[in-house]
A and B are shown apart, each in its own frame.
Chain A
Amino acid sequence: QLQLQESGPGLVKPSETLSLSCAVSGGSISGSSYFWAWIRQPPGQGLEYIGSVYYTGRIYHNPSLESRVTISVDTSKNQFSLKLFSVTAADTAIFYCAIFVDTQSPPNFWGQGTLVTVSS
């Protein structure tokens, strides 16, 4: 059973870069034909897909965030990462890493989520 665990700073200053990692256990990130994804949820609001990286290395982004997002995979550490540039208070959210198998399936696994607050 795959398990995901997010990590990173809980507080980021406006205009800076938000960086999070998602450690994968129970399986190899390089050997699994999954979409390794990031999802966020602002306080009291709905969920928003940020982007994902396919096992081939192809990156998919939410068009609304594409210019500010980088997603990468580190197979040596068995983890994938998110960078969100030029953050504002509107980027304050709980960030989840998750796994999608295909376009017809729901996220099969979720991390527990990590709250990132953007504030000076």
Chain B
Amino acid sequence: QSVLTQPPSVSGAPGQRVTISCTGSSSNIGAGYAVHWFRQLPGTAPKLLISGNNNRPSGVPDRFSGSKSGTSASLTITGLQADDEADFHCQSYDNSLSGWVFGTGTKVTVL
């Protein structure tokens, strides 16, 4: 059972912008814990895409950006490309559970 809620799927045409939401609560995102985003291709382990709410690791294109406000966070992909198709997961920490929490996951489809 996931503590952070994401839409099951989002889609867009090449070149468009899509946004994935990640809704938490006052014990995780709202408590000030950082939100991180992972991209996962079929059959592979998740790979870090955004860390600390809005920081891109080396090699991640600036088409990917993150933001956080209140008890929610968002991942935005601009200039959508065919190879952006993947599953995306948000992740944070929850102080009431004393553990790390993940989102429900979102599948991005390029139309």
Chain A interface SS verdict (over half): loop
B61 at interface by CB-CB < 8 Å? no
Question: A106 near B: Cβ within 8 Å?
Answer: yes
State how many angstroms separate the Cβ of B29 from the closest Cβ of chain A. Answer: 12
Q: Which residues of A contact B44 (CB under 8 A)?
A: 112
**Quick one: closest A residue to B107, CB to CB?**
A44
Please report which residues of chain B, range 31-84, place their CB below 8 angstroms from some CB of chain A when the two chains form the complex: 33-34, 36, 38, 44-46, 48, 51-52
A104 lies within 8 A of B105 (CB) = no
Bound CA span A47–B48, Å: 14
Q: Would you give the shortest CB distance from B52 to chain A, in whole angstroms?
A: 7
Whether A47 and B46, one on each chain, are in contact in the complex, defined by CB atoms closer than 8 angstroms, is yes
Are the CB atoms of A48 and B93 closer together than 8 Å? no
User: A105 and B34: CB pair below 8 A?
Assistant: yes
Distance in angstroms between the alpha carbons of A45 and B100 in the assembled complex: 17
Cβ B48 vs Cβ A106 within 8 A: yes
User: Chain A contact residues (Cβ within 8 angstroms of B): what range?
Assistant: 20 to 34
Which of A7-15, A59-67, A75-83 makes up part of the contact surface?
A: A59-67
Q: Is the CB of B99 within 8 A of A51?
A: yes
In the assembled complex, the Cα of A52 lies from the Cα of B48 at a distance in Å of 20
Which chain A residues in 37-85 approach chain B with CB under 8 Å? 37, 39, 45-49, 51-52, 60-64
- Indicate if the CB atoms of B103 and A106 lie closer than 8 Å: no
The chain A residue sitting closest to B51, CB to CB, is: A106
Bound Cα distance A61, B44 (Å)? 25
Which residues of chain B are within 8 angstroms of A106 by Cβ–Cβ distance?
Answer: 36, 38, 48, 51, 91
Q: A110 an interface residue at 8 Å Cβ cutoff?
A: yes
Residues of A within 8 A of B52 (CB): 104-105
Query: Within the assembled complex, what's the spacing in Å between the Cα atoms of A52 and B98?
Result: 11
A64 to B104, CA, bound (A): 16
* Residues of B near any A CB (own CB < 8 A): 1-2, 6, 33-34, 36, 38, 44-46, 48, 51-52, 89, 91, 93, 95, 97-105
